Amino acid sequence: MDIRHNRPSPTKFWNWFNPVGRQTGGWAFILHRITALGLTFYLYLHLAVLGQLAKGPEGYDGFLALVRNPIAIAGELLVVAAGILHGLNGIRIILTTFGLSVTRQKQLFYVLMVIALVVILIFGSRMFTA
Amino acid sequence: MSINTQSVSAPRSGENTWLWLLKIVTGGLLVILLGIHLVVNHFMDEKGLLTYADVVAYYQNPIIPIMEISFLAAVVTHSLTGLRGIVLDLKPSRIFLRVFDVILVIAGVSVIVYGIWLVLVIVSKG
């Protein structure tokens, strides 16, 4: 990717998600940024919802009864998947920070994403059958 | 292939090196803590933590509140330093960034205090 393409600018927001002309590193970037924004939104929603615990059994168990349906579980799996993808791609970022696997990061990215897919499938089957 | 500045992780221009390093370190911690969090919530026993009583019982082991508060502090720090990095990609003005920094610090401290309060409330119900 052209280095000028990555210069900070107020108008760059939609470019972050533009799939045109991306190579592996560009896709890793999109994946990391979308999951980052999604997980940040979920984190604060999650913390607010857990406030129900302070209200005792009625509040919390009532909320859980509300979300124990396939649509809510699919949403929860999406969050779990985002966490796994962000975390495993993050391992690659940490390694390159310390100069490790810099020239092999494309292969590393593919391996991590295969692991992510397997782990997501395990969580998915567990969440929908439990 | 030559190694250019884009193929390694490094601070953005204008990104404080210590904040950037904090983001990397909390990120590494979170891979471990989120891993534990997910396994406990989905795999620990047949049903996981699906009732109020289960959650209160789970928090009676003193390791759990300590781990959850560490997890909270790491995840809030990581999300807010990460958000700051994303905002830096939009080239904010100096004034905007200064105001945004104050908001981030207030938000981070408030959320961590709220989380600690909530953990203590849950522990006290046991």
Structure confidence by residue, pLDDT tens digits, B57-95: 989 999 999 999 999 999 999 999 999 999 998 889 999
For the cut 80, the answer to whether the pLDDT of residue B49 exceeds it is no
Q: Which domain holds residue B73?
A: 17-124
User: What CATH number should be reported for the domain holding residue B71?
Assistant: 1.20.1300.10
d(CA B72, CA B112): 7
CA–CA–CA angle B24, B25, B30 (5° rounding) = 95
For chain A, what is the mean pLDDT?
A: 88
pLDDT of residue A6: 63
Q: Which two tokens stand for residue A64?
A: 């859980």
**For residues A32-65, b (16+ Cβ closer than 10 Å) or e, as one string?**
bbebbbbbbebbeeebeebbbbeeeeeebbebbe
Amino acid A93: pLDDT:
93
Which CATH architecture is the domain A23-129 placed in? Up-down Bundle (1.20)
Nearest to B31 among A6, A87, A123 (CB): A87
How do the domains of chain A map onto residue ranges? 23-129
A91 at B interface, C-beta within 8 A: yes
Whether residue B95 lies within 8 A of chain A, CB to CB, comes out as no
Q: Which has more confidence, A130 or B5?
A: A130
Which of the two residues, A38 and A9, has the higher pLDDT score? A38
Q: Which pLDDT belongs to residue B2? A: 41
Distance CA B10, CA A96 (A): 9
Q: Does A75 contact B at CB distance below 8 Å?
A: no
